[in-house]
Structure 1
Amino acid sequence: MTTDSSFSHLDIATLATWLDGERVLTLVDIRDPMSFAQGHIPGSRHLDNDGVGALLEETPRESTMVVVCYHGHSSQQAATWLSAQGYSDVYSLDGGFTEWQHQLPSRVATQS
């Protein structure tokens, strides 16, 4: 886990450990709706521009926030933005959902 100026990088193994240990966190997936429906990390919430307001209203600023995208690039920008909104414990998932699915294919949820 490495730290950037406003967020930290999180690896797949650490996130899996946190989820297994039932660590309280908000897991947001910023990929497009169809990709999210086809597969996402269990417990994650799809986040797009329309849902940002609700996320900010519903999630306390002291919450742990983990941002997931396709490969771990766009999530860094989103994590930086969330940090600027007052969240102090923000992570970008390195490798994104693509790497999660590759390493942990049995831990992928789909929407029916």
Structure 2
Amino acid sequence: MSFQHLDIATLTTWLDEGRDAALVDIRDALSFAQGHIPGSRRLDNDTVGDFIETTPVERPVVVVCYHGHSSQQAAAWLAGQGFAAVYSLDGGFTDWQLRHPERVEA
């Protein structure tokens, strides 16, 4: 299993359409608290077990980090856990915030 890359424009369309996807943010707690994509949840070593247990494997998962680099490793790992469609957000939260400052939740 592997992950796919997702660009900001596609994620924006998905959110506008109300498409069901689990948005997970792997940045540190302070960064997440200061701003994140609405509807996303923070994922770390302490919460990933619960996420895996409670999220259906057929539900698409979008992994967000700072710039779209570490999210690729996390996405590959989640795909290895059996999730059918895992995406790494290219450009990460930094790029999202630049393009959609009005769509950031603190």
Shared topology, TM-score over 0.5? yes
Q: 1:103 aligns with which of 99, 102, 106?
A: 99
Q: Give the counterpart letter for 1:56 in structure 2.
A: I
Listed as ranges, the gaps of 5+ residues in structure 1 are none
- Please list the CA deviations of residues 49-82 of structure 1 after superposition, one character each: whole Å capped at 9, or x if unmatched: 0001100011011110000000000000000000
Q: Give the counterpart letter for 1:50 in structure 2.
A: D
Q: 2:27 — aligned with what?
A: 31
Q: 2:5 — aligned with what?
A: 9
Q: Report the Cα distance in structure 2 between the residues aligned to 1:58 and 1:45, rounded to whole angstroms.
A: 13
- Please list the CA deviations of residues 29-59 of structure 1 after superposition, one character each: whole Å capped at 9, or x if unmatched: 0000000000000000000100011000110
Q: Does 1:77 align with 2:68?
A: no
Compute the displacement of 1:90 (Å). Answer: 0.3
TM-score (norm 2): 0.98
Structure 1 stretches of at least 4 aligned residues deviating more than 6 Å after TM superposition: none
Compute the displacement of 1:88 (Å). Answer: 1.4
Over aligned residue pairs, what C-alpha RMSD do you find? 0.7
